[in-house]
Amino acid sequence: MRVGMGYDVHKLVEGRKLIIGGVEIPHSLGLLGHSDADVLLHAIMDALLGAAALGDIGKHFPDTDQAYEGISSIKLLEEVGQLLEKENYVIDNIDATIIAQKPKMRPHIEKMEENIAQALKIDVSQVNVKATTEEGLGFTGSEDGISSQAICAISSIYENSIAVGGSERNCAGCPGCGK
């Protein structure tokens, strides 16, 4: 098993849509960025790429490349999922937190989890999204921006291909220690 963590932050500005977890959330401000600036999906992508030791989203989707200008982060997440599959990794689980003073995220979290699971071709039970405020403290508390943190666990398909042993002596078919 491999574990990765991701963090992302974007500034709140006027004139942009607020898209988090692939959900357009009604709000007077949106997140500034080269793509749709989906802070949650960016943190999740960095966690997944980090777990696989494949760099980060800046490496794969640089903000200097016009091909990614305004792109949906759901599309980028799908590409990250395909890259993990190509490298023979499966996603065990994802746990993420959105840090925002406003708007309230709770009404949108279930749809966010569904979007993430669908993009990565995993079961929604493998995705957990939470939200919190910072009680008015820091840049998120003053509503200057929104941040997100994510952690994930992935496994190589080879790790998951070990046959379970039939004897009490061997763990997962291992001839090793004799437990």
> Does the annotation place 134 within a ligand binding site?
yes
Q: d(Cα 148, Cα 18) in Å, to the nearest integer?
A: 14
Nearest to 98 by CA among 45, 144, 142, 134: 134
Residue 144 marked in a binding site: no
Q: Is 57 annotated as a binding residue?
A: yes
Distance (Å, whole) CA 129 – CA 95: 6
SS3 content of the chain, % helix, strand, coil (to 5): 35, 25, 40
Q: Is 125 annotated as a binding residue?
A: no
97 marked as binding residue:
no
Do the annotations mark residue 64 as ligand-binding? Answer: yes
3 state SS of 11: strand
The annotation status of 58 as a binding-site residue, yes or no, is: yes
62 is known to lie in a ligand binding site:
yes
56 is in an annotated binding site: yes
Please tell me whether 132 is known to bind a ligand: yes
Whether residue 133 is annotated as binding a ligand: the answer is yes
Residue 145, marked binder:
no
Alpha carbon distance 165, 161 (integer Å): 12
42 is in an annotated binding site: yes
**Does 60 count as an annotated binding residue?**
no
Give the annotated binding-site residues.
Answer: 8-10, 34-35, 42, 56-58, 61-65, 132-135, 139
Task: Please enumerate, by residue number, every residue annotated as part of a binding site for a divalent metal cation.
Answer: 8, 10, 42
